[in-house]
A = this chain, B = another copy of it.
C-alpha cells in the first residue's frame, strides 16, 4: 500500500466530500445549475446543508472541486520542470495540457454549463487570478528573486490569459501557440529574462 492507512475518520470525511461533489455535479448536469438549490443537493446526498458548506466554501466551488487539484499545477510546471528547460516552453506545455484537458469530448457538457452561468464564469475568473499570483511567486523563486517583480506578475497573468483565451478560440491548440509567441516576445524584452 502506498497510502499509510489514512485513518478511518479522514477516509469517511473524504467519502462524504466526494459524495456531495458527485451528487451536486450530477444534479447540476441533469437539471441545470440554476435549477438546483443547495437544499436539493444536501437532500439528495443525504447530508445537512451545513455539511455541504463545511466541505465547500460556496455553491460554485462544488462545480470546480476537481480542478482544485490543478490549483498549483502551473506553479509546479515551473518549479518541477526538467533542468535546463527554459521557462516559457515549460509554461506553454502546461497550458497546452490544461486546454486539451478541458476541451476534451467528455468534459463538454460541464463546460457548456459553466459557460452559460455568469456566477460560474466569475468564480472561474477569480480562481485564475489566484493561480496567477501563485505562478508569479514561483517564477520569482525560479529567478532567485526575493519577491515577485512587476515583470513576473505580468508574465504570470499573460500565461493564465493564454489559457482563458485559448479555451474560447476556434482552434485552441493553435491559439496557445500564437499567444505564447507573443508572450515569448514580451518576456525576452524584460531585464528579468536575462541572467
Please give, as numbers and ranges, the residues of chain B lying within 8 Å of A164 by CB-CB distance. 157
The answer to whether A157 touches B161, judged by C-beta atoms less than 8 angstroms apart, is: yes
Residue A87 is within 8 A (CB to CB) of chain B in the complex: no
Please give, as numbers and ranges, the residues of chain B lying within 8 Å of A187 by CB-CB distance. 182
Residue tally, chain A, CB below 8 Å to B: 28
**Chain B residue at smallest Cβ distance from A155:** B182
Q: Secondary structure of the A side of the interface?
A: helix
The answer to whether A154 touches B129, judged by C-beta atoms less than 8 angstroms apart, is: no
The answer to whether B150 touches A175, judged by C-beta atoms less than 8 angstroms apart, is: yes
CA distance A183 to B158 in the complex (A): 10
Q: What is the oligomeric copy number?
A: 2
**Chain B residue at smallest Cβ distance from A176:** B150
Please give, as numbers and ranges, the residues of chain B lying within 8 Å of A185 by CB-CB distance. 185-186, 188-189
The answer to whether A165 touches B179, judged by C-beta atoms less than 8 angstroms apart, is: no
The answer to whether B157 touches A165, judged by C-beta atoms less than 8 angstroms apart, is: yes
Please give, as numbers and ranges, the residues of chain B lying within 8 Å of A122 by CB-CB distance. 122, 125-126
Please give, as numbers and ranges, the residues of chain B lying within 8 Å of A151 by CB-CB distance. 178, 182
